Amino acid sequence: MDQEEGRRQIRLGLFVLHAGYHLAGWRHPQARSGGEDFGLMRETALIAERGLFDLFFLPDTPTSSRGASPSAAARLEPLTLLSALAAVTADIGLVATASTTYNEPFNLARQIASLDHLSNGRAAWNIVTTLSAEVAASFGRAGHLPHAQRYARAAEFIDVAKGLWDSWDDDAFVRDKASGVYFDKAKLHYLDHEGPHFSVRGPLSLARPPQGHPLLVLAGASDDGQALAAQAADIVFSAQNDLAEAQAFYRGIKLRAAQTGRDGGRVLVFPGVLPIIGATEAEARAKFDELQSLVDMEHALPLLSFFLGHDVSGLPLDEPLPDLGPSDAMKSRTALLAGLARTENLTVRELARIVAAGRGHLVVVGSPVQVADTLERWFLEGAADGFNVMVPYLPGGLEDFVEGVVPILQARGLYKTAYAPGTLRDRLGLPRPQSRYATPLSSLERVPVSCDR
């Protein structure tokens, strides 16, 4: 059990934005980078497994610029990279970000199910609707779908993917040499889905995944995003930098999940956190200052524009951020950053520098004890079930966390000391979804059972 002795424990994901999360992390003297460097990714995954991380989480957008973060401009495709990592890791969950706006359900369901088989039940899909409008031009689309339509398509996409994963009953493949029966035809199901966005007959050309349905992660935080997450996600990944707001978000997700008939306890909320760790607070502060000194406005301003959904490049840098109005891109993050600028009366330059560090996520600068204290507080005070840890640069920023913070959390009984056996769902304490074609237990009970033993 990951919840040792029945006690609720912190879960951890490692959010791997290549070369590190801090915009200038790749420039740190100890940083290593290279979007195609499998060696670095393998080393990172193995360090994360040493720290008993639950998830190795790859964000993605099918475009090069991704808000002009230079070290993420070129990178390996997530499902391909994770399939290679599946072969060199044993326990960590493998989370691939993939878009419902720029994929077809059949292909993607097949790829994610393949990863689940390859990894013995460690695959997860971070469902995104893609916010960069520029992606449309690479897919022959006249334009990017508006926010509400992206979410309507996402909801149908998820339903189709789940249906395809249920194409074969768990015990459909008997492979009986004596009788010559490879699979039981009665245990094969055609989806025959006809909907506003997709028409999918099925079945999927793959046995039901070890987890039944690979783990589903959702990162949208707007109203539509939360509604879909409450309905479909196993983990909700969010950006929060204020404890009270994070608590409200956490309560809201659990409540919405309960309103859709789900057990709110089984929808886990993971805010992102960027720890900058030094042996002492002063050392950590010096490290943070060093990273911030490497930030240049040439990259920080496009990143800010990306997250605000408005071009801020023409605004005076040292005046307060004006009210830019809502955006159709990342509604939740736009609101979070605009709110921060308003309450703290931040200039455009100041906000750009904040975004360069944590992009709106919680940033904790301190000693390992101080970082552990913050995580403990958010966890115990109803703001998080786990965290997506974003390290400023690789692999040193991760080593600081694994060597410094993990042992403290373990000593406090807040974190596991070994991986539990089983699939990713088992480790996270989440149930294996039943197939939509399974006979409900209640009707099974009514069937007279004959047994010749």
Ligand X SMILES: Cc1cc2nc3c(=O)[nH]c(=O)nc-3n(C[C@H](O)[C@H](O)[C@H](O)COP(=O)(O)O)c2cc1C
Interface positions with ligand X (CB under 6 A): 59-61, 97, 99, 128-131, 219-222, 224-225, 237-239, 272, 330-332
Q: Minimal distance in Å, beta carbon 91 to ligand X?
A: 23
Residue closer to ligand X (CB basis): 204 or 232: 232
* Nearer residue to ligand X within complex by CB, 25 or 278: 25
Contact 23, 356 (CB under 8 A): yes
CB of 435 to ligand X, least distance (A): 27
Smallest gap, in angstroms, from Cβ of residue 6 to ligand X? 30
> Which is nearer to ligand X, 386 or 396 (by Cβ)?
386
Between residues 64 and 293, which has the closer beta carbon with respect to ligand X?
A: 64
Smallest gap, in angstroms, from Cβ of residue 324 to ligand X?
A: 15
State the minimum distance, in angstroms, from the CB of residue 219 to ligand X.
4
Tokens of 350: 């100041």
CB nearer to ligand X: give 61 or 370. 61
Q: Which residue has the tokens 């029945």?
A: 6
Q: 315, 348 in Cβ contact below 8 A?
A: yes
Q: How far is the CB of 90 from ligand X (least distance, A)?
A: 26
Of residues 152 and 330, the one with the C-beta less far from ligand X: 330
Nearer to ligand X, 93 or 396 (CB): 93
We find the least distance from the C-beta atom of residue 68 to ligand X, in angstroms, to be 15
CA dist 359 and 293 (Å) reads 16
- Of 26 and 237, nearer to ligand X (C-beta) is 237
> Which residue has its beta carbon closest to ligand X?
225
Q: Nearest distance from residue 54's CB to ligand X, in Å? A: 17
Tokens 């769902």 locate to 425
